[in-house]
Amino acid sequence: MSIQESVHEVSRCAALLHERLPRNEAEAVPEAAEIAALFSRHLDALATAVAARGALPEGELRTAFHEVAARSGLTDLADAASPGGVSRARAGVLALGLRTAETLDARLAPAAAPGGEPRHARPRGLAAHHS
């Protein structure tokens, strides 16, 4: 997948997250703030790694997402006050958060080349100018 496609997918996730911001108190999912902070820290670490021509371990964000979601209670979808006994707002944040974590983790982290060294993907057309 090209860098442009990866950035497009991350942009789609961000747009969906923004589109689904709570419009009232019943739609609020306080645990989402902890997930957003996790994504922010990961993007900062990714920027630092890329600037140093390094890579982040694949799967690191996905693992951290699962830990934060479980610890914070985001994975507890039961809500007696909601129709069907399931919090749709919490389920939506969980699903979209996981999609975002997987996108950031797998699509933007530089892949390791055979032998363990990070491989630095470059947009097509620019690689020849920066060799």
What are the extents of the domains in the chain? 3-21+29-109
* Token reading at 101: 């974590």
Name the pTM for this structure.
0.70
What value does the mean pLDDT of the chain take?
76
Which ranges of 1-131 does DSSP label H, i.e. alpha helix? 3-19, 31-51, 60-72, 88-107
CA distance 44 to 122: 19
Residues forming beta bridges with residue 78, ordered by sequence position: 86
Six token digits for residue 1: 């997948």
**Tens digits of per-residue pLDDT, 83-118?**
889 888 889 889 989 988 888 887 655 554 444 444
Exposed, middle or buried: residue 109 (CB in 10 Å: 0-12, 13-18, 19+)?
buried
pLDDT > 90 fraction of the chain, expressed in percent and rounded:
15
The pLDDT tens digits of the residues spanning 59-86 come to 889 999 999 999 999 999 998 888 889 8
d(CA 37, CA 52): 23
